[in-house]
Amino acid sequence: MSKKFLLTAFSKDRPGIVADLSRVIYENGCNLEESSMTNLAGEFAILLLLSVPAGNLKDAEEKLSTECRRLEREKGITAFIRPIDLETQKKKTDILTKTIHVEGLDQAGIVYKVSSFLADRGINIATLHTERRLSPESGAAIYAMTITVELPSQVSLQPVEDGLAQIGDQLNVDVTFEG
């Protein structure tokens, strides 16, 4: 049976970061299963799910941790490794997946108010992406957020849609719920 790890890393953006990290994964007999990478304000942020096959399990976590420290010393990449307990992972059943879009003038509290509303109703955020851009017409800062949520099948959709609409009215932003 394989073991899974979550590796998070960030570095000042430059060519070669992905190659440096993937080399560590490859040379330690691991398999890169999933990834999410992005550039935020000149910093490259990385989230990786990797697995170690049963034949390479001996001291895998210690070796990967040592490699993470080496990457920081030699390459300026801050990286952390954490094992994932496969026993506690729950198979998601009876889940509805929906997408929420929020857009309006940039202001403090948009992510907080929407995410708090969702959390209070037991709705899980699977992915969340935000961006801030300037309106071509006015030059005003526009904030856009796209959230993929997982709703337990027993959750009634209408109260969720109504609550999100109320938040949109309070913040003077457009909120759409689809999927």
Tens digits of per-residue pLDDT, 58-76?
A: 788 899 999 999 999 999 9
Assigned token pair, 171? 């913040």
Helices (H) and strands (E) in the chain, counts: 4, 8
Task: Please give the average per-residue pLDDT across 48-59, as a whole number.
Answer: 86
**Angle, helix 110-120 to helix 157-171, in steps of 10 degrees:** 160
Whether residue 2 is predicted with pLDDT greater than 90 in this model: the reply is: no
Q: What is the mean pLDDT of the chain?
A: 93
Tens digits of residue pLDDT in 82-91: 999 876 566 6
Q: Does the model's pTM come out above 0.85?
A: no
User: Domains, the chain, ranges and CATH?
Assistant: 3-84 (3.30.70.260), 95-178 (3.30.70.260)
Extended beta strands in the chain, E state: 3-12, 31-40, 43-52, 78-84, 95-105, 124-134, 141-152, 173-178
DSSP 8-state secondary structure symbol assigned to residue 53:
-
Whether residue 125 is predicted with pLDDT greater than 80 in this model: the reply is: yes
